[in-house]
Structure 1
C-alpha cells in the first residue's frame, strides 16, 4: 500500500508492492488493541450494576448501545477507507478507542457508560472493516489467505484478551474499574506512533467509482451465504455472552470476575484454532463444518442452562470458538480476499456489519426476554433460534461464487 499519487502504484485497481512485515505487524497491532478495548467492560458489568444499582435490562441496554455504534459505523462509513486510505481511518479508530477508555475512567454514571459504549462501538466498527482490508492489502497476492487469518486473529485475539484481562484484574486489584482502562490507554499510546512510523501514509488505490460520500454495499450470492454463516457464529456468541456472567454468579454460585471474563475469552481464543484448521480445507467445506459445530455448540449451551452445570458451558464455549473460526475464515476467503482493492474496505465493512448485528440482536434479546420469563428460558429460546439459523446455513447453497457490490 502506498500513497495513490506516488510512484509505487503501478495501475488502477492493483495494490502496490507490500511494504514489509513491520507494516503488517503495526496494522495488526492497532486492530488488536482497538478490539481489546471493546471487551474490557464485559466482565465488569456486575460491578457497575452493584455500584449504580443497574438492572439486568439496563445492562442489556448498554450492550445494545455498543452494537448500535458498531453497526451504524460499518453501514455508514464502510467505504471510507477506500476513499481516504487505510491508515487515516485506522488512526481514527484508535482515537475513538482512546476516547472510550477516557470516558470509562471517569466516575461511573449511567449516561457516561452509555456514551462510552457507543464510542467503543464506533471504534470497533471502523477498526473491523479497515483493519482487515489493510492487512489483506499489505500482503503479497499469494499470501492473502494468510493475511486474512492474521486479521481475524488480531480481531478475535483482541476480543479474547480484553475480557480475560479485565476479569482477572477485577479479582486482583483494588481499582477494578480503572486499572484495565489505564493499561489499555497505554497500549493505544504505543499503537498510534507505531502505525504512523511503520505504515505508508496512503494505503489504498482511489476507487474506480470516484471519491465521494461513502455508500452502502449491496451483497448477494456467496457474500450473503458467508455473512449469514459467520453471523450465526456471532449470534451464538451473543447468546453465550449475554447469559454466562449472570448464569455463573446466580445459578452456579461462581461470582468470580475471572471466570466471567474467561468464558467469552475462551470463545474468541479458540476461534484462532478454527482459523488454522480452515486453511487446510476448501472454504465451502470449512463453512459447512463450522455451521455443524455451531448447532452442536448451541445444543450444549442449552444443556448447561437446563442442568445448571459448569462443564457443558465450557465445552459450549470451546466448540463455539472453533466452529466460529471455521466460518469466519471461510467467509473472508469467499468475500474480502476475492475483491479488488478499491472495494475491499466496503466489502470488509459490510461483512462485519452483518456479524455484529447478529451478535447484538440475541445478546440484547436475551436481556429483554429474561426480564419477563427468566434467564434460563430466555437463553434456551435464543440458543434454539441460533441453532436453527446454523442449520439453515448448512442447507443453503450460495447463489453465486463471488461477492457482489
Structure 2
C-alpha cells in the first residue's frame, strides 16, 4: 500500500508544476505515462526474479527506488525531473504488483487464495486512492505544496521496510528455467485465465488512469474549481469504490464479477460524457465511482483467476503478465486522450475517449461471455 500511495500522489500537484514549469496537457499525459514505461520495464524482469530469488530480494530494492522517486518529486524543477520520478515510481510499482501480491498469497497459504487476492487488490487500490487525497489536502493546508506529501511518503516507505524484511516467506527451492528478462507469461494451458482478466482489467484501468491524468483539468477547465483537495478527494472516492465493491462481490462467481466490471465501465464512460457536456461536478464524481468499481472488479477477478490455478512458483510472473496487459493499453490511451484534448478541446477529447473505452469494455464483456464457461474456476 505504501508504494501505491506514491503511484498517484502527484496527481493533484500537476497543476502547480504546469504553472511553475509550463507544459501542455499532452506533455502532462507523457509525464503520467512514463510511469507505465517504467512499470512495463520492471514487469519484464521482476516477476521472473521474484519466482526465482524470492519476494524480499525484489521488494526491498523497490522500496528504495520509491524513496528515491519521492525525493526527486520533492525537488523537481523541470519536466525531465518529473519524468524520471514517474519512471522510478513505475519500476517500484512493477515490482510490487508482481512480487508483493504474490507475497500476500504466500503468507495467506493455500487455503486462503481468494482472500489473498482480495486483500492484495484492495491494498493496491487503497494506496492508489490515499496518494492523491494526501497530496491534495496537504498541498492546500501546509507550506511547500509539492514537497510535504513526498516527505510523508518517505516515512511510509521507511515503515514498510521492516515489514518486508520480517515477512515469513522463503527463497524458492528451485531457480526455474529460461531468460531472466522476458515478456511475462502464464504456464501453458492457463492463457484463458489471463485473457479473461485482461479483457476487463485493461479498460477499467484505462478509465481510472484517464480520471487521474485529466481529472484535475476537467475540474478546473470545465467545472470551475482548481481546488487540489477536491481533485484528490475525487481520486480517493474512485479508489474507495474500487476497494468497497471488491468486498461486496467476493462471494460471486468470477465470471459474474468480470461481467459486472465491464458493465460498470460502460456506464461510467456514459456518465463521463454527460458530465463534460453539462459541466456537472456530481456526474463527474459518479463517473469516477463507476470507473473505480469497474477497475476493482476487473482487477479482483483477474487476480482471483490467477491465484486459483497458477502454481506459486509462477505466480509473480503471472501477476506481471496481467499488469502488462492492463497498463500498456491504459498508458497509450491516456497519452492519446491528452494530445487529442489539446488538438480538439477537452470536451470533444473526453467524449471520444469515453466512446472508445466503452467499446473496449463491451468487447471485454463479450470475451468473458463467450470464453468464461471454458475457463476452470471462472
Whether TM exceeds 0.5 here: the answer is yes
CA contact (8 A) 1:294 1:319 kept: yes
Q: Which TM-score applies when normalising by structure 1?
A: 0.87
Moved more, 341-350 or 107-116: 107-116
Give the Å deviation of 1:398: 2.6
The change in CA–CA distance for 1:277 and 1:358 in structure 2 (over 3 A counts) is farther
Q: Deviations over 1:213-249 (max 9, x none)?
A: 2433345323112112111110111222233110111
CA contact (8 A) 2:28 2:213 kept: no
> Aligned pair 1:45/2:3, yes or no?
no
CA contact (8 A) 1:160 1:265 kept: yes
Tell me what 1:217 maps to: 184
SS state of the match for residue 274, structure 2? helix
Moved more, 42-51 or 363-372: 363-372
Give the Å deviation of 1:122: 0.6
Separation of aligned partners in 1, 2:297 and 2:23? 37
CA contact (8 A) 1:336 1:347 kept: no
Q: 1:331 pairs with 302, 305, 310, which one? A: 302
The change in CA–CA distance for 1:107 and 1:347 in structure 2 (over 3 A counts) is closer
> Aligned pair 1:236/2:207, yes or no?
yes
Separation of aligned partners in 2, 1:204 and 1:299? 47
Give the Å deviation of 1:42: 0.7
Tell me what 2:64 maps to: 95
Separation of aligned partners in 2, 1:176 and 1:183? 12
The change in CA–CA distance for 1:337 and 1:97 in structure 2 (over 3 A counts) is farther
Give the Å deviation of 1:107: 4.5
**Structure 1 outlier segments of 4+, above 3 Å:** 209-212
Give the Å deviation of 1:317: 1.2
Q: Which TM-score applies when normalising by structure 2?
A: 0.93
RMSD: 1.7
Give the Å deviation of 1:93: 1.0
Tell me what 2:79 maps to: 110
Give the Å deviation of 1:402: 5.4
CA contact (8 A) 2:194 2:302 kept: yes
> Aligned pair 1:398/2:371, yes or no?
yes
Map residues 8-47 of structure 1 onto 2, 5 A cutoff.
Answer: 32-47=1-16
Q: Deviations over 1:236-280 (max 9, x none)?
A: 112222331101111111110011112222211111112112212
CA contact (8 A) 2:11 2:213 kept: no
Separation of aligned partners in 2, 1:39 and 1:332? 21
Map residues 4-403 of structure 1 onto 2, 5 A cutoff.
Answer: 32-196=1-165, 198-200=166-168, 202-207=170-175, 209-210=176-177, 213-218=180-185, 220-396=191-367, 397-398=370-371, 400-401=374-375
CA contact (8 A) 1:37 1:184 kept: yes
CA contact (8 A) 1:93 1:126 kept: yes
Q: Gaps (5+ residues) in structure 1?
A: 1-31
SS state of the match for residue 41, structure 2? helix
Separation of aligned partners in 2, 1:251 and 1:203? 53
Q: Gaps (5+ residues) in structure 2?
A: none
Give the Å deviation of 1:194: 2.7
Give the Å deviation of 1:212: 5.4
Q: Which has the higher helix share?
A: 2
Task: Report how many residues are paired.
Answer: 370
Tell me what 1:14 maps to: none
Moved more, 47-56 or 316-325: 316-325
SS state of the match for residue 371, structure 2? coil
CA contact (8 A) 1:335 1:402 kept: no
CA contact (8 A) 1:129 1:349 kept: yes
Q: Deviations over 1:29-53 (max 9, x none)?
A: xxx0011111111110000011111
Q: Deviations over 1:80-136 (max 9, x none)?
A: 100110011011111110110111122522221111111111111111111111101
Give the Å deviation of 1:204: 3.8
The change in CA–CA distance for 1:288 and 1:206 in structure 2 (over 3 A counts) is same
CA contact (8 A) 2:44 2:181 kept: no
Q: Deviations over 1:274-313 (max 9, x none)?
A: 2112212000011111111111011011110111111111
